Chains A and B, each alone.
Chain A
Amino acid sequence: MNSTKKILLAFFTIFSLFISCNTNAEEGIFYQIINSTKNTQIKINQYLGVYENNHYVISQGKLYKISNNNYFEISGVYDDGIIINGYLKDENIFFICQEKKTSLTIIRKYNIDSRTIDSSFSSNGSFRMIFENGYALGEQGLYFIKETEASLIEDTPIPKTIKKFFISKDAIVLSTEASVFIIDKNGDIKITLNKSSVSLSGFQKLSDNSYLVFIDKNIYKVDDTTDSNNPFTTPLVTLSSSWDTRSFGYNTAIQGNKILIKASSSFLLIDDYNSETYTIKSNGLDYLNNLTQISPIYISSYNDKILLATNQNGIYIIDVNSNTKQQIF
């Protein structure tokens, strides 16, 4: 073999090696690295909210404060049980905890400033879930949480058999066998839509009287002019079948005139929800891709941006205008 053949053989060996590698990865290696995220030491089961620049979360049955990228367990809150979920309102955290001895699930109120459980707060009965707008779902139905107690909403026509619900800070949508109800933060039913057996999959408040309701893969705009007996006729948008909701439904958050939607394995963006023709896009959201694998995920409007809390990969501030994310924990 002469030297020219040897050089050519060496060149093609190296070249074939060069082009054959990384065929199994869907993204460039350096791209993957710069989009890697810090693994947090705690798994966030529920993000509660922010108070005086500290974020509060529930992780594996315990309450944590996240401050300056560090986390601190709030001890002595409930030593003989586990915390199931909660919500933060001003300086108070209301949470459902399950007693180990009795297995009862009761609501407690923790004051962040005084670092104590408020013994004057009482709740009777057993509770399944507490919502971020101040409601709780208990064995008797829907409860409204006041300063000193959780009181059953008895004078509303809402049946106790709630099929599915979605919540935001200032409204809640829930479906029963026969109807869909939209309730504001004061406990008033704003809109009742009579439609049986709907598959509620998401919810977003747009204004005081205007909402987006997700039914399966269709998004409907609902307001006080909507025909309550024939509410879901023409969807604004029908999501692609590949944007599967699975059992979690769609999480949504507003930034300006844009709505970020989290589907099961991708993010979608409604570009301008005030315009006559809505457009939904999924391109340009690559910077969020590595956050979709983790469920549950929490997204909410936050200081004119969007806060996104993941189960294992920390908390991010998302800016859908500049397509950037900043990890704050």
Chain B
Amino acid sequence: MKKKILILIILLIFVLSGLFSANKYYNTGDTVFSFNGGINLPDFILFSKSSDNVFGFDTHIQVGGTLGLSYQVFLTNSLALGGSLSYRFNSSISSDLFVLVPITAKLSYYPFQSEKFDLILSVDAGISYFRYLEGKYVSPYVGISISPSYFFTKSWGLGLEAGINVNYDIYFASSSNNKSLHNAFGFFSPITLKVIYRH
């Protein structure tokens, strides 16, 4: 069942991209700058060496916030490459702050693009710095997102962006501690409103 749904989604993306490919609004070299802000939802934390996996608010992470910016340049009239920087914060149930700062390369695909509307599918890959209590970590980071956008002038627009990302908390086995038993993947879903400037 899950496979069928996945195949349908992939087919839908291909069909839509085929339909819309005739009308290309962007040209190679065009640039897009966006500033976004919204909420950061905890999804789940998966432990690689135990079954203590937790979901949603059982992660003991509360709904937090996110602020970010990104800059991209069109490599073709459908693909844009650039970078993004975000600052995300959530509170644990003990009211201690969990901070996540992803710095990523961002590749976006525009299956639908026009003077008024864009639909953007993006992949982010990079590193994220995160901090909780006295612990600090720099981790590999991967995220995907979807973003419909509306342009009320030729250059300025508003968009919604929702996605899911994963942060790895990985430790090597050591005789001095058992942190390697705590290796975990933390999944989060930022949902943001963004202001877009294109040129």
Q: Contact mask A1-42 → B, CB, 8 Å, 1/0?
A: 000000000000010011101101111111111111111000
Report how far A36 CA is from B59 CA in the complex, Å: 9
Q: Are A34 and B60 within 8 A (Cβ)?
A: yes
Measured CB to CB, the nearest residue on chain B to A290 is B94
Q: Are B138 and A14 within 8 A (Cβ)?
A: yes
Report how far A31 CA is from B178 CA in the complex, Å: 12
Chain B neighbourhood of A31, CB < 8 A: 47, 169, 182, 184
Measured CB to CB, the closest approach of chain A to B84, in angstroms, equals 17
Report how far A22 CA is from B183 CA in the complex, Å: 13
Chain B neighbourhood of A25, CB < 8 A: 133-136, 179
Interface size on B, residues (CB 8 A): 34
Give the interface centre of A19, A27, A28, A36 by most chain B CB atoms within 10 Å.
A28
Q: Contact mask B175-188 → A, CB, 8 Å, 1/0?
A: 00101001110100
Interface size on A, residues (CB 8 A): 23
Q: Are B135 and A17 within 8 A (Cβ)?
A: no
Q: Are A39 and B94 within 8 A (Cβ)?
A: yes
Instruction: Please tell me if B92 contacts chain A, counting CB pairs below 8 Å.
Output: yes
Q: Are A32 and B138 within 8 A (Cβ)?
A: no
Total number of A-B contacts with CB less than 8 angstroms?
82
Measured CB to CB, the nearest residue on chain A to B135 is A25
Report how far A170 CA is from B17 CA in the complex, Å: 75
Measured CB to CB, the closest approach of chain B to A195, in angstroms, equals 41
| Residues A21 and B137 in contact in the complex (CB < 8 Å), given A30-B169, A36-B96 | yes
Q: Are B138 and A34 within 8 A (Cβ)?
A: no
The residues of B with any CB-CB pair to A shorter than 8 Å are: 45, 47, 52, 54, 58-61, 92-96, 98, 127, 130, 132-140, 169, 171-172, 177, 179, 182-184, 186
Q: Are A22 and B137 within 8 A (Cβ)?
A: yes
Measured CB to CB, the closest approach of chain A to B183, in angstroms, equals 7
Q: Are A29 and B169 within 8 A (Cβ)?
A: yes
Q: Are B171 and A22 within 8 A (Cβ)?
A: yes
Q: Are A30 and B184 within 8 A (Cβ)?
A: yes
Chain B neighbourhood of A37, CB < 8 A: 93-94
Q: Are A18 and B139 within 8 A (Cβ)?
A: yes
Tell which of A19, A29, A39 touches B132, judged by Cβ atoms closer than 8 Å: A29
Measured CB to CB, the closest approach of chain A to B26, in angstroms, equals 29
Q: Are A24 and B96 within 8 A (Cβ)?
A: no
Q: Are A28 and B171 within 8 A (Cβ)?
A: yes
Chain B neighbourhood of A26, CB < 8 A: 177, 179
Measured CB to CB, the nearest residue on chain A to B127 is A14
Report how far A249 CA is from B98 CA in the complex, Å: 36
Tell which of B127, B172, B179 touches A27, judged by Cβ atoms closer than 8 Å: B179
Tell which of A14, A29, A36, A39 touches B137, judged by Cβ atoms closer than 8 Å: A29
Chain B neighbourhood of A21, CB < 8 A: 136-138
Report how far A29 CA is from B184 CA in the complex, Å: 9
Q: In the complex, which residues 29-59 of chain A have their Cβ closer than 8 Å to any Cβ of chain B?
A: 29-39
Report how far A33 CA is from B132 CA in the complex, Å: 8
Measured CB to CB, the nearest residue on chain A to B177 is A26
Chain A neighbourhood of B95, CB < 8 A: 39
Report how far A34 CA is from B177 CA in the complex, Å: 19
Shortest Cβ-Cβ A-B pairs, 10 listed: A28-B182, A25-B135, A31-B182, A30-B184, A36-B94, A36-B92, A22-B137, A38-B93, A29-B135, A21-B137
Q: Are A32 and B135 within 8 A (Cβ)?
A: yes
